[in-house]
């Protein structure tokens, strides 16, 4: 019996640990009976609302921006977001006065 590849990173070095499968490269664990879903991961804002491409959001916390002379202030509106999955950030966007930027979904709320 061959084990499936890791659904997160695609590693072939998956091993069994009891009734769970474990990836030693990204440390992802899942049940053997879990069905693989081809749907993208659900991204939620700070209030638990599901975000989608093209949504408008507001920043809920002052955020420091590396290389910028000023910070992003709470209440800054961000229009037309794009959802990504680069391992750290969930949102790719352009903010007036700052330009292109990546944000974590935990620091925004849907308008």
Q: How confident is the model at residue 39 (pLDDT cuts 50, 70, 90)?
A: very low
62 with 31, same domain: the answer is no
Residue 13 counted as domain residue = yes
pLDDT at 86: 84
Query: Residue 53: what are its φ and ψ, rounded to 5°?
Result: -55, 135
Q: What total number of domains does the chain contain?
A: 2
Residue 74 pLDDT: 95
Q: Are 61 and 107 in contact (CB under 8 A)?
A: yes
> 33 — phi, psi (to 5°)?
-90, -5
Separation of alpha carbons 72 and 98, rounded Å: 8
Give the pLDDT score at 63: 92
Is 29 within the bounds of a domain?
yes
Report the CATH number at residue 75.
2.30.30.40
Helix (H, G, I), strand (E, B) or coil at 105: helix
Q: Quick one: average pLDDT of 24-50?
A: 76
pLDDT confidence of residue 54: 93
Radius of gyration for the alpha carbons in the chain, expressed in angstroms and rounded? 18
Which range is most confident: 3-7, 34-38, 63-67, 89-93? 89-93
106: domain range?
57-110
Q: Which of 38, 5, 2, 45 is nearest to 22 (CA)?
A: 5
> Do 61 and 98 share a domain, yes or no?
yes
Same domain (yes/no): 61, 32: no
**Does residue 50 sit within a domain?**
no
CATH number assigned to the domain comprising residue 24: 2.20.25.10
- For the chain, give the mean pLDDT: 87
């Amino acid at each position: 019996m061959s084990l499936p590849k890791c659904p997160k990173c695609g590693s072939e070095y998956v091993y069994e640990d009891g009734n769970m499968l474990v990836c030693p490269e990204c440390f992802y664990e899942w049940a053997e009976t879990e069905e693989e879903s081809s749907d993208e991961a659900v991204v939620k804002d700070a209030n638990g609302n599901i975000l989608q491409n093209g949504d408008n959001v507001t920043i809920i916390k002052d955020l420091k921006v590396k290389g910028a002379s000023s910070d992003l202030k709470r209440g800054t509106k961000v229009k037309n977001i794009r959802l990504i999955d680069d391992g750290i950030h969930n949102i790719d966007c352009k903010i007036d006065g700052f330009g292109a930027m990546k944000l974590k979904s935990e620091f925004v709320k849907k308008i």
